[in-house]
Chain A
């Protein structure tokens, strides 16, 4: 009798656990949903970048960003500075290519010249912010291995914790990180927090997203406030978004060198 009971209990536990496991998505499944949520045909948004150093000094820059993603998933992005006055009109254009390195151009109105920027070093800071070019790229699911390592609640939002490690040789060479830990919200599949570990395995940066809202007229949810902090030095960049528009049609001509230059005035 006792033995039977025990056996029954054990069986129940096994079945229950198995069913739990079945409910648990894999890291890759989560990231697929994340990617689907992230992906748009096009978008346009205004954002305020506040760079704060460890001593509390601030540099504020206002930019407008438009993006467009083609059928292959390659993204084009144009960023234009609106303020401060001395860099107003400065534009940054990046075009992802599937067969070769991405192209990056910078337009400096004070020189009236478009300059091509080395695109190979993705670990460089983007315009002096705590974000590197790599941080701003769209997630490349094929280049990473994902592992679900737990779940957690961040700022009241339930999230999966997914560990991402580069596996493709190209990405391993390019990336500045040994791994990332992403907190993906269970409701909208947005990254609400990410921890970045450098090549030596040291935890170096913390990304946090908040003020999550549905973009009007779409099924997309976006964080209207992002911070990236260098946890060792204490420097921080805050991005505040406004006037988000998704899939409202952005003309192709925005992503040409000519437009990059012309829009400067």
Chain B
């Protein structure tokens, strides 16, 4: 109690210190960024993430934004084609430089002076436009090589350069490498240099485009109702999410200009990420205030006092600031899963404040002495507050063992939040109560309705005890049923499918997926481990066969690899003879013409020569490089040992993606053997990887959580039997939560995987309350029946109120834009109610002494816990 005496002596200093700490965390909070990349989900040391990075580097590849231009009457008309051409040119000229970049550049100029200032002034004169790309790039090269240059300046220039040309490459009908052979040789050129006007020109373009099978589905739809523009960002989305979002706005504005009658839609992995980011900010901005408002209303209705509203509210908001601040300090981002955290913290953390304030009101009415009321309140409630916080923390902290980074973060930081709420409750509340005027003692709320609840609870308790066997049988049946249901539970997630069906990105993705090869990309890396291994005709033929196998799957719309290029060049170098639309064989026969001097005359003779297919491939590649082609950089590494097969897929559902991966795996096993090693990269492969981690991770986390909770309960009650009795209802609720997901067709994903831990973390408090109240009553000398009845009407009532409050809080998540968050919302809500019901059903039945030996259960009470049962449960009861 010394601790609280000190607080009561210096309440202003205590509040001052808390305020300073909160300001500090508030400052750190600014550093928190939203990150919705798949990388943020996976652990930093994950092998697949490393592989993905490596692949991006080797093949210089980045994610693409797809712009679909769809005209149901066909795209081969001058108007639509002109739009494609204009879009291509305008996109190439996009700059995302903002006003503050200009002023920052100016400031750097003034600060650095000299030749830098001169160059900067030149760039700034006449405003900064895409024409300044060169000058900015020169300045960057100069600064980069200048040992004395400020590193902040260099990195600023690097970003400025990137903002002046955010698009590194664009592929469209107006700008695509079309490999053809003309009468004078191999040519690589765009099929549409100028927009065709006459019917003949239009027909010629159509036949050129459909004459190159690499374009079908990749660039134009099979039925020629759509064409796509592929936009490659000049930066990695994961590192420059803000820039990506600026670029997106520009693209969106451009698309709007050319919209109608053609449909112009943006999709692709970066777009999904950008939309996710926007909707996440929206969710945070909308859901948090709503839940605060809701909580305020509920509290006002229960206390009829503004103090009663604001004290607990300050506790949760303060805890939230501390939590977000801690995230800032550790540089952890807000991920999709973490967006649910503020709502959750508010719903959970509010309880302590409510308990303390209502107890204080009772004590004030009793003692009419501020210090005494506060001290008694704190004396009674400190331990319960600490115990319930610890059990909740145990539920969440177990998630820290997850291999999935965002689940780990969610677990760690929600625990931090619960801890912060506890610290606030135990320090800020007594200090604030000391400074505030004591509450008016007012009795509100007629007992009518609420005592009906009491009566109902009494009857419920009696019924439970009378039908003990039914309860037990029912429980066992339920458990069995849940296990059957859980066996049907599916792991699977999708990024696009997280959005609601009417959302723009969902619609755009659907449309592009039905018209073209697919917006989701999987990279299959074939590593021959030998230099020039890719020039082996047999290996290339196998790669081509793998592509054919994949394309036979309806979900795979388009694939591309070095094999396609070799095939195409082989075709055009053999006068477009369809027999040569293939990879050269091991040995090829070619006809050679030679002039021979015969009888003083030059005569042409022909002969058949056998040539190695490998040489042909090598020379085709040289020919292609020499004709200015540079697409192979993305499909083969520098020494031609690794090939990158780009597979476009029409869905991002991880269950489908896993099937496709399996197809590859089977094919590789049968065909590549030891000649080449297969690995995967790309967003889709990482998503599958993340999913594969969910089940082992969740099983481990829940196992640990159950053990820790059991340990805590055993410790609190100093009895393993009580530990077990307290744990059983929670075990059943967890089974029920998973079973419900299975029955309602909710997939287990990184979001819904959290439900069980959340329910456990919050629900176990009910067991603690119920058991400790029961125990205290028995200690007072009541017999089993009497103690149980009393527990039902006091503790039971508090449990009903608390679970209803938490359930209502979580229902706010139904307003989220994301299905996983919505699922968390309703699943937690429903299961909170179930944990309340199951606690009250099972615990009394399990406590019931066997009829023959009417012995009291283990009686070693714990002082602190007695207090817990005595008071904490008054919290939500009417006064």
Q: Which residues of A approach B to under 8 Å, CB–CB?
A: 53, 55, 57-59, 84-87, 90, 106, 108-113, 115-118, 121, 124-128, 197-198, 200-203, 231-232, 258
Contacts and interface: CB of A to CB of B under 8 A. Distances in A.
A110 B619 contact: yes
Interface stretch (B131-139, B390-398, B654-662, B863-871): B131-139
Given A86-B535, A86-B614, A108-B619, A118 B626 contact: no
Instruction: Return the 6 tightest CB-CB contacts between A and B, nearest first.
Output: A86-B618, A202-B134, A57-B638, A128-B625, A200-B134, A201-B134
A128 B631 CA distance: 12
B623 A109 contact: no
B204 to A, nearest CB: 20
A233 to B, nearest CB: 9
Nearest to A123: B628
Given A112-B609, A124-B627, A203 B141 contact: yes
Interface of B: 57-58, 131, 133-135, 137-138, 141, 184-187, 532, 535, 573, 588, 590-593, 595, 609, 611-612, 614-619, 622-623, 625-628, 637-639
Nearest to A61: B622
Given A86-B617, A110-B618, A115 B623 contact: yes
A182 B625 CA distance: 28
14 contacts: A59-B639, A86-B614, A87-B615, A111-B590, A111-B611, A112-B590, A113-B590, A115-B623, A117-B185, A124-B626, A127-B626, A128-B626, A202-B135, A203-B141
B627 A86 contact: no
A126 B611 CA distance: 26
A109 B626 contact: no
Given A197-B134, A202-B137, A110 B611 contact: yes
B583 to A, nearest CB: 14
A117 B626 contact: yes
B639 A110 contact: no
Given A106-B623, A110-B616, A202-B135, A53 B638 contact: yes
Nearest to B602: A258
B121 to A, nearest CB: 16
A128 B138 contact: no
Contacts of A111: 573, 590, 611, 616, 619
Contacts of B57: 55
A116 B185 contact: yes
Contacts of A113: 573, 590
A106 B185 CA distance: 9
Nearest to B595: A258
Contacts of A128: 622, 625-626
Nearest to A53: B638
Contacts of A200: 131, 133-134
B595 to A, nearest CB: 7
Nearest to B618: A86
Nearest to B570: A111
A234 to B, nearest CB: 11
Contacts of B592: 112
B717 to A, nearest CB: 63
A125 B638 contact: no
Given A117-B627, A125-B625, A231 B185 contact: no
B626 A115 contact: no
> Taking each of A55, A111, A125, A126, which has the highest tally of chain B beta carbons within 10 Å of its own beta carbon?
A111
Contacts of B184: 116, 118
A117 B622 contact: no
Given A57-B639, A86-B615, A118 B623 contact: no
Contacts of B628: 121, 124-125
B154 to A, nearest CB: 14
A258 B141 CA distance: 47
A232 B618 contact: no
Contacts of B593: 112
Nearest to A197: B134
Nearest to A88: B615
Task: Give the residue among A110, A113, A200, A202 with the most B Cβ atoms within 10 A.
Answer: A110
Nearest to A57: B638
A87 B622 contact: yes
A127 B623 CA distance: 8
Contacts of B622: 87, 90, 127-128
A55 B615 contact: no
B843 to A, nearest CB: 64
Given A118-B184, A125-B625, 9 more contacts: A55-B58, A86-B619, A87-B619, A106-B185, A110-B618, A112-B593, A127-B626, A202-B137, A203-B138
Contact of A201 (B135, B609, B623): B135
A115 B625 CA distance: 15
B626 A106 contact: yes
A20 B242 CA distance: 57
Contacts of B185: 106, 115-118
A118 B595 CA distance: 26
Contacts of A58: 638-639
A126 B627 CA distance: 9
Nearest to A103: B184
B802 to A, nearest CB: 59
A197 B591 CA distance: 46
Contact of A118 (B133, B532, B612, B627): B627
Nearest to B612: A110
B484 to A, nearest CB: 54
Nearest to B58: A55
Contacts of A87: 615, 618-619, 622
A231 B282 CA distance: 43
Q: Which of B58, B617, B622, B639 has the most CB of A within 10 A?
A: B622
Contact of A90 (B58, B187, B619, B639): B619
A127 B135 contact: no
B146 to A, nearest CB: 14
B280 to A, nearest CB: 35
Nearest to B130: A200
A201 B122 CA distance: 13
B187 A118 contact: yes
A57 B58 CA distance: 10
A126 B532 CA distance: 20
Nearest to A92: B626
Contact of B186 (A115, A198, A201): A115
B134 A198 contact: yes
Nearest to B574: A111
A127 B625 contact: yes
Given A53-B638, A112-B592, A116-B185, A86 B135 contact: no
A125 to B, nearest CB: 7
Given A108-B619, A112-B592, A203 B611 contact: no
Contacts of A86: 532, 535, 614-615, 617-619
Nearest to B144: A231
Contacts of A201: 134-135, 138
Contacts of B612: 110
A112 B626 contact: no
A3 to B, nearest CB: 38
